[in-house]
Amino acid sequence: MASKFLLLALLAITSSIALASDPSSLQDFCVADAKNSGVLVNGLVCKDPKLAEANDFFFSGLQLAGNTSNAVGSSVTPVNVAQIAGLNTLGISIARIDYAPWGINPPHTHPRASEILTVLEGSLKVGFVTSNPENRLITKVLEKGDVFVFPVGLVHFQQNVGYGNAVAIAALSSQNPGVITIANAVFGSKPDISADILAKAFQVEKNTIYNFQSKF
């Protein structure tokens, strides 16, 4: 009896590991049909494959530079399932990132994807922080043609350390990787996280927290 329970437990563990990423496709493709279906599923409902067409698998525009005239000096152009319906169930997406001189892609996480970043132009300082309790910063300066990987869920960032514009392409292991920008989430939540909580967490005065929250 004990061995039977052990076998069931092992099956449950391996099954949960196997299902811990985007669901695999059981057919050639599953073009998302979110506009015509009110059904809520983990992912997006497929449209009839006989109605699929080339534009379901197509996006145009990554040759265009994003507008970096903002507070952080960067712009992200995502190409995920929201832009290409044919990415549904395929477990991949891509993004173009533009950086003004000394601009940053601020510390953030992708809760559902690892990321592999390729520098197309310029020089970028990149890094990620390991999980508690080490919180170790792993960082490197990348040049044109260099590639760097950010493991799933870890806080990471990029900074243009050159005097000209920089461009990178990021490939991600999910059709919908999600993004949580740390400062926006902590200081710009709706409603606000209590200043008492944040003041104690960051070991600063509450007025400092109010000042940060006013910026987000």
Name the binding residues: 105, 108, 110, 115, 156
Q: Which two tokens stand for residue 5?
A: 């329970």
Whether 87 contacts 29, CB under 8 Å: no
Residue ranges for the known binding site for oxalate are 105, 110, 115
Is the bond into 191 cis (omega within 30 degrees of 0)? yes
Amino acid at position 128, single letter: F
Q: Nearest 10 degrees: CA dihedral of 23, 26, 30, 34?
A: -50
Q: Locate tokens 């009896």: which residue?
A: 1
Residue ranges for the known binding site for Mn(2+) are 108, 110, 115, 156
Q: What is the DSSP string of 37-104?
A: -----SS-PBPPGGG--GGGG----TTSPP---SSSSEEEEEESTTT-GGGTTT--EEEEEEE-TT-E
Task: Give the DSSP H or E segment for 105.
Answer: strand 104-109
d(CA 68, CA 214): 22
